[in-house]
Amino acid sequence: MRAENEVVLLKKTEGDGLLARFQPENLEQAMKVADVLSKSGLLPDHLRGKPADILATMLAGSELGLSMMASFRAIYLVKGKVGFYSDFIAARAMQHPECIRFQLVEEESSDVKATYVAERRHQGPTKFSYTIEQAQRAGLMSNSNYKAHPAAMLRARCASALAKIVFPETMFGIYSRDEVEEIEREINPAPPAARPTVEAAPQVPGRTSRAVRVAASMKPPAVIDVKPGETEEQATEREAMPRMHAKLSDAELSAALDDARVRLENSPAGTPLHKGLKTRLESLERELVARTSGKEASL
């Protein structure tokens, strides 16, 4: 006789006696499964011993129609934020019913550049490249993988960006690990290294000490303008958006605009999510206007 709290990890199909793929049927069962899996060696290192993160991964995957185990292969949690592996994003693009092709341009794949081409039914092909210079401007070179495997990392970034450009309706809210880590750095920058304290030198009459001159030249700390109805974290994210959006290429900016518009239309009005998306869209539109004005001025 089975104990009440025992988790049934496998079920039998009717008739053929084969073991069917298991999926939790409710939240309580999913929590029990997450606890069991956290103690196993089956999952990636970043999930072992973390039942809460395992449950979050399962729920995020379920929203996209992924099976439980497929969620662990597709999703990576980055400081509490959901990121997706680039091969999952590319596969999702290829499975789109309007996708004719989504492929790497092999002769343009190297340690300094990656190029993909995608074609959607009733539209012409779209070619997109991502270079090592763009990765440097985005601050991605701190990731050791860009130094050890630059060609693979550039292909991953290029594929995920192109998927959002050509198939935006199936990609909104889906960010690659690189993009999540980049957003995290913008919202929560690393604190500056502590400076060693220096004892004050004896004062000479009529002379200002170097420490006093340096202190006088230092800028006061930035003050975050927290608006009514938002948290300090939301205010920090809002003020970081212009700097983050300025780093996007024109193609990435266009994709981000489409993403924000679709998500805003599908979010309940008056909710914190709706307000955040509206702020993001306004920031992206200001960046687009600034770029358009700059290009017109240069003509």
Task: Give yes or no for residue 296 having a pLDDT over 80.
Answer: no
DSSP H helical ranges for the chain:
27-38, 51-63, 68-74, 86-94, 132-137, 144-148, 150-166, 177-187, 210-217, 232-246, 250-265, 272-298
> Letter for the amino acid at 1?
M
Mean pLDDT along residues 59-87:
81
- Among positive and negative, which fits the CA dihedral 171, 173, 177, 181? positive
Task: Give yes or no for residue 108 having a pLDDT over 90.
Answer: yes
pLDDT digits (tens, 9 = 90+) for 144-171: 888 899 999 999 899 988 988 898 887 7
Task: Give yes or no for residue 111 having a pLDDT over 90.
Answer: yes
The whole-chain average pLDDT of the chain stands at 75
Worst-scoring range by mean pLDDT, 116-120, 187-191, 272-276, 282-286? 187-191
Sequence-distant (≥ 6) Cβ neighbours of residue 152 within 8 angstroms = 145
Band the pLDDT of 98: cuts 50, 70, 90.
very high
Worst-scoring range by mean pLDDT, 12-16, 37-41, 45-49, 67-71? 12-16
Mean pLDDT along residues 85-110:
91
Q: Which of 79, 87, 82 is nearest to 58 (CA)?
A: 82
126-130, 143-147, 234-238: range with highest mean pLDDT: 126-130
CA atoms of 77 and 44, how far apart (whole Å): 11
Q: Which of 90, 166, 168, 162 is nearest to 122 (CA)?
A: 166
Sequence-distant (≥ 6) Cβ neighbours of residue 297 within 8 angstroms = none
10 CB-side CA count, 13 A: 5
CA atoms of 271 and 84, how far apart (whole Å): 25
Mean pLDDT along residues 230-252:
68
pLDDT digits (tens, 9 = 90+) for 114-126: 999 999 998 889 9
Under a CB-based contact definition with an 8 Å cutoff, are residues 94 and 102 in contact? yes
30-34, 44-48, 96-100: range with highest mean pLDDT: 96-100
